[in-house]
Chains A and B, each alone.
Chain A
Amino acid sequence: MDTFIFTKKLLIVDDEPELLAMVKSILEEAGFTNIVTAGSVSDALTICHLTLPDMALLDVMLPDGDGFELYEKINKIARIPMIFLTAKDASDDKLTGLGLGADDYIVKPFLPQELILRVCAVLRRCYKDNSVLSLDGCNIDFERAEVIKESETLPLTAKEHALLKILADNSGKIVTVDNLCEALWGDNPFGYENSLNAHVRRVREKIEINPSSPTSLITVKGLGYKLITRN
């Protein structure tokens, strides 16, 4: 786990004090040390003007406005990652939330573990010093597009870089062949599976200790691939 994310300042906005207390205690227990809460749009904006949080969790229905408005107002102060946390699950609400550019959308009720994982995922994605990734047999420097091994440094092609980047952004999770092809060749990438296989083979030759029995870039049969990272 990346410990740096636990030092980030979180703002939780909800009009239900009990829920606010609970979310705060869940996140504190998970390791977050810097959490502020607000019960209304105006309180939230006051906090943001004083010291900007690193991330905000927003309820959609608030006593003095809605979460989408608050999202836009905070965005005008500064662009920080935000997650909607709401009891509404109507599909258009979800689209409104993500259409604004929100980083995630969690529907109440949620499992505490789910909340922690999503908050961490968004923070990691937005704040991670992710230019160097550590794998079993090598490190990958995304900024320089290089694979650094003990004895040598191998350059990555644009496609290999894109492939590793999307896998690294979802490290430990399955990324489907469809998503990989889309990331590499754009919309409607049907029929690129063979090319994808070829790129995966070449990436493995660069990053794996033994490319024929990979330990970092794993095939998930029938679905896609996942990247196992060390950190």
Chain B
Amino acid sequence: MKSYLNFLSKRLSSLIIRICLLLLLNIIVYVITFYGVISKDYGVTSPRNTLAFISENSSISGISSSAKEQLDAINVWAIFIDNNGNVAWNYAAPSELPDKFSINDVAIFSKGYLLDYPVFVDTNDDGLLLLGYPKDSYFKLSNNAFSINAIRKLPVFFVAILILDAFIVLLLYYRSKKRMVSNIEPILDGIESLSKGQPAVVKVGGDLEEISDGINKASQIISRQNIARANWIAGVSHDIRTPLAIILGYADKIKSHCDADSDFYKYSKIIGHNSFKIKNLVSDLNVVSKLQYDMQPLNMETTRMSKLLRTFVADRINEGLEDKYTLTLNIAEEAEPLSLNCDSRLINRALSNLVNNSISHNPEGCNINIDLMSTEDGLKLVIRDDGVGVTEDQQKIMQKPHYMDSLDDKLDLRHGLGTIIVKEIVQAHGGKVETPVVDNGYTTLLSFNL
């Protein structure tokens, strides 16, 4: 509703200005159309002015020559009727006019026409001066009486009708805008989703149906492409797994059959290590692509964070952690009961990637700490190590968009998927990832709102 009102108020002033401009235009057209006629018919030759002029330049005894010229110029005839109804004189009057007029005749023509000629009358002590204009030159109201009550009501009526009209116009305007906005809003939402590469379903009838159909079709194409891409990635990663298992298995076998100081031992170790890297990359790629294309439904459950972390750390240690690494969990007392609505599998995945990062960047060993703390509006997880850390330059490189998000031709293939997967997972939970610059080692902060 608020958006409609905003929309309305924004457009209202321009609507009013437009209405005023329209009125002005009407006046201008009116003036242009009627200027000639008005100036001619209501100017110096108008009946009122002519009547005054002729009246001044004539009497019962006759008419001056200047008055005659004036009458000739505008093709008007004149007669003078004395107080007894006799025609005292006439000038250019039609021949069918009678010589004498009764009081009835006078009463009739004084308000209107004489033999269809529109006539205008001036009186003086001697009688009546009558000007006859050509037939069909003027329209005269012969019964021009109006009720005083009706005329008194007119101003109120005009103001009321104006207000009513304004109200109706605004109402119609508001309704049409509202309908437009309610139709356009889903379309805009749909377009926004499409611009993010996400599918959209828009249901709009009427004139805009064609547009919404177009959006739905585009959306179908995008989701088909997304599904195809995610499936393609899933398929490739599936097909890589079996050969990789064979490589890992035999590399290990070679290693176990070589002397620990032989080159072959070293080579097989390198093969194993790199196969392991591919293994992680493949499974990360799968998770990232599914998260990015919204293919991975989040399995949200209320999970006690302290329990999740204890299980994660215990599993990690139980799986076997080399002696040069330590993994320590510190849970602040007030954070112990905190629960987060989350997909624990994905949170585990993020933690695992961060711990793996610390391990793989510190082949000489390091101490890894996981801290859980409560904050004002949620909880904070700190994963920190005291290893070699990163330089400021490296940190800057890591802030750049990842190649998964990059459209640059020169694909920057420096870093793997480890960090992007953490970002994707935390964002999917409405959280935030920070990597502050620290003096010692590498630190990642994950914060979630409860």
Stretch binding the partner chain, chosen from B88-96, B104-112, B208-216, B249-257: B249-257
Also in contact, A178 and B311, with CB within 8 A (given A19-B246, A113-B252, A173-B318) = yes
Chain B min CB distance to A84 (Å): 13
- Name the interface size band of chain A: 20 to 34
Mark contacts of A1-43 with chain B using CB atoms, 8 A cut-off: 1 yes-contact digit, 0 otherwise. 0000000000000001011001101100100000000000000
Q: Which residue of A lies closest to B279 (CB)?
A: A109
Mark contacts of A174-206 with chain B using CB atoms, 8 A cut-off: 1 yes-contact digit, 0 otherwise. 111111000000000010000000000000000
CB pair B328–A19 under 8 Å, yes or no, is no
Chain B min CB distance to A136 (Å): 21
Chain B residues with CB under 8 Å of A26's CB are 249, 252-253
A151 contacts B by Cβ under 8 Å:
no
CB pair A110–B248 under 8 Å, yes or no, is yes
A50 contacts B by Cβ under 8 Å:
no
B307 contacts A by Cβ under 8 Å:
yes
CB pair B245–A110 under 8 Å, yes or no, is yes
Chain A residues with CB under 8 Å of B304's CB are 178, 190
Chain B min CB distance to A125 (Å): 15
CB pair A87–B246 under 8 Å, yes or no, is no
CB pair B234–A25 under 8 Å, yes or no, is no
CB pair B246–A177 under 8 Å, yes or no, is no
Which residue of B253, B275, B311 contacts A176 across the interface (Cβ within 8 Å)? B311
Chain A residues with CB under 8 Å of B299's CB are 91
Chain A residues with CB under 8 Å of B314's CB are 173-176, 220, 223-224
Chain B min CB distance to A12 (Å): 13
Also in contact, A108 and B252, with CB within 8 A (given A90-B234, A224-B314) = no
CB pair B329–A89 under 8 Å, yes or no, is no
A99 contacts B by Cβ under 8 Å:
no
Chain A residues with CB under 8 Å of B249's CB are 19, 22-23, 26, 109, 112
Q: Which residue of B lies closest to A182 (CB)?
A: B307
Also in contact, A178 and B252, with CB within 8 A (given A19-B246, A89-B286) = no
A166 to B276, CA, bound (A): 32
CB pair B248–A179 under 8 Å, yes or no, is no
Also in contact, A108 and B242, with CB within 8 A (given A174-B314, A223-B314) = yes
A189 to B110, CA, bound (A): 113
- Which residues of chain B (234-277) have a CB below 8 Å from chain A? 234, 238-239, 241-242, 244-250, 252-253, 256, 275-276
A147 to B317, CA, bound (A): 29
- Which residues of chain A (211-231) have a CB below 8 Å from chain B? 220, 222-224
CB pair A176–B307 under 8 Å, yes or no, is yes
Query: Which of B245, B279, B304, B330 has most A Cβ within 10 Å?
Result: B245
Chain B residues with CB under 8 Å of A88's CB are 238
CB pair A16–B242 under 8 Å, yes or no, is yes
Q: List 11 A-B contacts (CB under 8 A).
A: A25-B253, A87-B239, A87-B242, A89-B286, A91-B299, A109-B245, A176-B311, A179-B311, A190-B337, A223-B310, A223-B313
